[in-house]
Structure 1
């Protein structure tokens, strides 16, 4: 028995190593890649040309991410049909991790000066590279999180596994926040107002991508799927059925829409924070202090997740988390250049984020069995592809908003905190704080009225499947 517990522990740790590296990569793409583009990629003397090129890049990213709305479900469907001696998911994690890391490292360059010597060719190559990176990152993302329902059917056991995974991902994401400025500035020849130069950003991409790939390898070596009759499909979902299957799973659709709107608000604030520290607070090095704070409180929040869900249930935990985040944004909005108050507000805003993620992840995971009973066949990766799809769509939309806003209020190129006018600072803060509050309130209303799949209902569904699955799946 102790040996079995030891194997479970090692599997959870290996899984956490994979999500640790995976969220390092996610933060690089969703948050700091945009900072590199607006501060370093286009740095000619012609500011109007720089702003034009930044606008084109933001549009390209947005178009690719929106197009992935139609690609990701097919990626999930393909993973569901995978059958290798290494399992269904691990090949996608490792191969996807390698290709995505290599592509992103190249994207953190000007492709040998093409941004100035041949901008049109640069844009074409950029679009191809970004699409390749995004597709393989998607495959890795879907495969990693699809392993949760493949490891256990019990909601509590899933929560423990997901807690380990989220501890790894929180640590990885916040470690990026701690290390990004020190790494970039250490390898930069020009501090460039605290945002570094191209050399520093390339070093950051290589280090982050390498760690991400290492985590994928550890996950591949240390995890194992659970064999169960409930995971055996008598019929597979065809490409033609993909969207109809998703549409029939009403609880999946409602939690996905809720999470998307919530992420619009959350991601806007997270993506704007580096700009706030550099151009409002006037000292980007404080971002590392925030990263340390977020590591501590994030790990604490995630570690307490199983206890909190037992005491409050997932629904209430979601509501309480949103209340805390809105209070944090109100404090943040009035903090101004008070660095202590800024750090308190930013830390408080980050505190519930991993809890909301886990509530949503567990609900989406439980819709696997909900759909299995309702539709008659099991689609683990197809259903779990919706969560990363939501994150990426939100990341694309918010990145575009952040990029255009940065240009609009003068926070691009060689700008400094002193060069930003008071009116532009006010407009920036309005977009950073007021707009996210509106999104979060809308998401809360949807969650309260439309999402009805609870832990108790899921347990009933699993019992019914255990009793009838052989007959249903014939």
Structure 2
């Protein structure tokens, strides 16, 4: 028992480290890449050219991600159909981490000054690098999170993996707002010879290199420190073609309702979170204080994730998901009254963010349990295909959010070196519409959908697992008996 516990602790830690690097990468890609593009990349261009290029890059990124997400279930199918001596997840985890890390750094460059000398060539090269990065990021993303149902079918152990994984991802994601501006300033001093709080493109590239190292290092820890569980339920798999992949998803009604709710929630959250750095930079005029928000989110994130196992055992996932969104709505209201008060904004950040990790975990565990639900309902087990839904939704929400953020930045006059004093009342009103009012509606509808349509509770999942085990044991016994009879 002691060896088994030690083995679990090692695996929990390894999985958490992989999630740490992965979400540091995701936060950089979904939130801070847009800040780099709108505030730094086209600073040498005229104002009209700058706005045009920002909208061009933003639109292209959104279209690429919207097109690419159609392939996520197919990527899940490729992983499900992979057979190696290292398992089906780890090869894709490492390859995806390595390639995506390289191309993340590339998209934080201007390709030797092409943004000014040849903008159209820059757009083409950026698009190529972004597509390659996004495809291999998808392989890594799906491989990492679809390992979850393969690590254990036991609800308690699975919750522990989910909790420790989310703990790592929360720290990774919230480490980015803590370190981003200090790192950019540091590398700007080192490579550009600047002083004070000046940020340069070289500083941004240095920051991207650090995130790339975190991402690959974490993936390596997960690959070396975890192993797949081999159970009768997991052996009940078969190769799935492209049509079968989409049929399996479409027939899993609980997965589809959860997906609809989580998309609305993720879109609202990502838009608000992505615009938070703009709030500190262009509304408060205190970008150097953004680190405080990062520390608040990191500390509360650890507390929130740590409380999840205790709270979910008492009130279950549905109460956490819906109740957490209600708390976030209170945070939105506080934001609206915070104005230019740094303390008011930081309090709003705390109330808004605290329930987010628990809501994510409630959604993740529901998706994970829908693997067995789909197997019970359709007769086929699809681990990576099913778990590909969560990364697909996050990328879809991120793609739409990137478009919204780019439009919001231009529409609100928050580009380049604009100062808070240059933002008019009308522009500030536009900004609040993008950052607060729209997202409030989205997350409220998400709570309603989850509450009314998602019926896959913890107790229902346990019942499904028992039914599957009984059925598969009976089928195996019948097959063994028939084999023995034939041998005679």
Partner of 1:52: 52
How far did 1:438 drift?
0.3
**Matched residues in 2 for 1:234 and 1:28: separation?**
36
**Matched residues in 1 for 2:200 and 2:442: separation?**
34
| Conserved? CA contact 1:193–1:414, under 8 Å | no
| Conserved? CA contact 2:324–2:358, under 8 Å | yes
How far did 1:68 drift?
2.0
Aligned residues: 474
| Conserved? CA contact 1:262–1:440, under 8 Å | yes
| Conserved? CA contact 1:251–1:367, under 8 Å | yes
Partner of 1:22: 22
**Matched residues in 2 for 1:168 and 1:433: separation?**
28
Q: 1:45 to 1:373 in 2, by over 3 A?
A: closer
| Conserved? CA contact 1:18–1:212, under 8 Å | yes
How far did 1:45 drift?
4.1
How far did 1:235 drift?
2.8
How far did 1:125 drift?
1.3
How far did 1:368 drift?
0.2
**Matched residues in 2 for 1:334 and 1:73: separation?**
42
Asked if 1:322 is matched to 2:325, the reply is yes
**Matched residues in 2 for 1:113 and 1:368: separation?**
48
How far did 1:99 drift?
0.4
| Conserved? CA contact 1:376–1:472, under 8 Å | no
Partner of 1:146: 146
Q: 1:198 to 1:450 in 2, by over 3 A?
A: same
| Conserved? CA contact 2:408–2:430, under 8 Å | no
Match of 1:215 among 218, 223, 231: 218
Partner of 1:202: 205
How far did 1:471 drift?
6.6
Q: Secondary structure at the match of 1:68?
A: helix
| Conserved? CA contact 1:190–1:196, under 8 Å | no
> Structure 2 matches for 1:349-368, cutoff 5 A?
349-368=352-371
Q: More displaced, 248-257 or 428-437?
A: 428-437
Q: 1:269 to 1:190 in 2, by over 3 A?
A: farther
> Structure 2 matches for 1:149-188, cutoff 5 A?
149-188=149-188
Partner of 2:373: 370
**Matched residues in 1 for 2:338 and 2:176: separation?**
24
**Matched residues in 1 for 2:67 and 2:196: separation?**
36
Q: 1:371 to 1:338 in 2, by over 3 A?
A: same
Cα deviations by residue, 1:210-243 (Å, 9 ceiling, x for unpaired): 1111111111111111011211135321112111
**Matched residues in 1 for 2:450 and 2:196: separation?**
42
Cα deviations by residue, 1:135-167 (Å, 9 ceiling, x for unpaired): 111110101111110011122221111111011
Cα deviations by residue, 1:308-365 (Å, 9 ceiling, x for unpaired): 0011111011111011100011001110111111001012111011001000000000
| Conserved? CA contact 2:267–2:439, under 8 Å | yes
| Conserved? CA contact 1:148–1:365, under 8 Å | yes
Length-normalised TM-score, structure 2: 0.95
Q: 1:224 to 1:342 in 2, by over 3 A?
A: same
Cα deviations by residue, 1:248-301 (Å, 9 ceiling, x for unpaired): 001111101100001111111100000000011110111101111111111011
Length-normalised TM-score, structure 1: 0.97
Asked if 1:332 is matched to 2:335, the reply is yes
Q: More displaced, 273-282 or 414-423?
A: 414-423
| Conserved? CA contact 2:404–2:434, under 8 Å | no
Asked if 1:434 is matched to 2:445, the reply is no
How far did 1:430 drift?
2.3
Asked if 1:393 is matched to 2:402, the reply is no
How far did 1:44 drift?
2.7
| Conserved? CA contact 2:411–2:430, under 8 Å | no
| Conserved? CA contact 1:16–1:164, under 8 Å | yes
Match of 2:463 among 457, 460, 474: 460
> Structure 2 matches for 1:205-354, cutoff 5 A?
205-233=208-236, 235-354=238-357
Asked if 1:75 is matched to 2:78, the reply is no
Q: Secondary structure at the match of 2:147?
A: helix
**Matched residues in 2 for 1:432 and 1:193: separation?**
30
Give structure 1 stretches of 5+ with no counterpart.
Answer: none
**Matched residues in 1 for 2:198 and 2:130: separation?**
23
| Conserved? CA contact 2:41–2:110, under 8 Å | yes
Cα deviations by residue, 1:184-205 (Å, 9 ceiling, x for unpaired): 1122248899672201110110
**Matched residues in 1 for 2:385 and 2:405: separation?**
30
Asked if 1:122 is matched to 2:122, the reply is yes
Q: Secondary structure at the match of 2:156?
A: helix
**Matched residues in 1 for 2:197 and 2:32: separation?**
14
Q: More displaced, 334-343 or 194-203?
A: 194-203
Partner of 1:105: 105
**Matched residues in 1 for 2:226 and 2:7: separation?**
9
Q: 1:9 to 1:417 in 2, by over 3 A?
A: same
**Matched residues in 2 for 1:390 and 1:321: separation?**
19
Q: 1:327 to 1:231 in 2, by over 3 A?
A: same
**Matched residues in 2 for 1:265 and 1:445: separation?**
14
**Matched residues in 2 for 1:472 and 1:438: separation?**
49
**Matched residues in 1 for 2:109 and 2:230: separation?**
45
